Amino acid sequence: MGIMHSTGSQQKRNDRIKNKIRDRNNHETSDIKPRQGQTDRIEHLTYRTRILGSIDRNPYPVGKIMAKQNTVFKDAFNRCLKLLAETSALPSEPELGATLGVSRTTIRAILTRMEELQLIAWDKRAKVVLRQPKADDYYPAEETDSLAEIIERSFMRRILAGGAEPGMQINELELARDIGTGTTSVREFLIRFSRFGLIEKRPNSHWILKGFTSEFALELTEVREMFELRSAVSFAALDPDHPAWLELERIETMHHEILADIDNRYGEFSELDERFHLLVHKSSSNRFIVDFYDIIAIVFHYHYQWNKANARERNARALEEHLAYIAALKTRDPAQIESACRRHLKSARETLLQSIQ
Choosing from 139, 161, 194, the residue where a domain stops is 139
Please check whether residues 99 and 194 belong to one and the same domain: no
- Residue 287 belongs to a domain with what CATH number? 1.20.120.530
Please check whether residues 99 and 32 belong to one and the same domain: yes
C-alpha to C-alpha distance for 322 and 345, rounded to whole angstroms = 10
Please check whether residues 134 and 18 belong to one and the same domain: yes
Please check whether residues 201 and 228 belong to one and the same domain: no
Q: How many domains does the chain have?
A: 3
CA distance to 127, 241, 356, per residue, from 120 (Å): 6, 20, 57
Please check whether residues 51 and 129 belong to one and the same domain: yes
Please check whether residues 197 and 232 belong to one and the same domain: no
pLDDT of residue 50: 38
Please check whether residues 293 and 221 belong to one and the same domain: yes
Please check whether residues 155 and 128 belong to one and the same domain: no
Q: What is the domain extent for residue 192?
A: 145-209
Q: Greater confidence, 329 or 191?
A: 329
Please check whether residues 278 and 232 belong to one and the same domain: yes
- Residue 150 belongs to a domain with what CATH number? 1.10.10.10
User: Where residue 21 falls among pLDDT bands split at 50, 70, 90?
Assistant: very low
Q: What is the pLDDT of residues 121-146, one digit of tens each?
A: 888 778 888 999 988 899 887 677 77
Choosing from 92, 112, 139, the residue where a domain stops is 139
User: Where residue 116 falls among pLDDT bands split at 50, 70, 90?
Assistant: very high
Q: Residue 278's CB: how many other CB atoms inside 10 A?
A: 18
Please check whether residues 131 and 155 belong to one and the same domain: no
The b/e string for 159-169 (b: 16+ C-beta within 10 A; e otherwise) is bbeeebeeebe
At 170 the three-state DSSP class reads strand
Please check whether residues 228 and 183 belong to one and the same domain: no
CA distance to 95, 246, 272, per residue, from 230 (Å): 36, 21, 21
Phi, psi of 104 (to 5 degrees): -65, -30
Query: End-to-end CA distance of the chain, in Å?
Result: 87
Please check whether residues 218 and 344 belong to one and the same domain: yes
In this prediction the pTM is 0.51
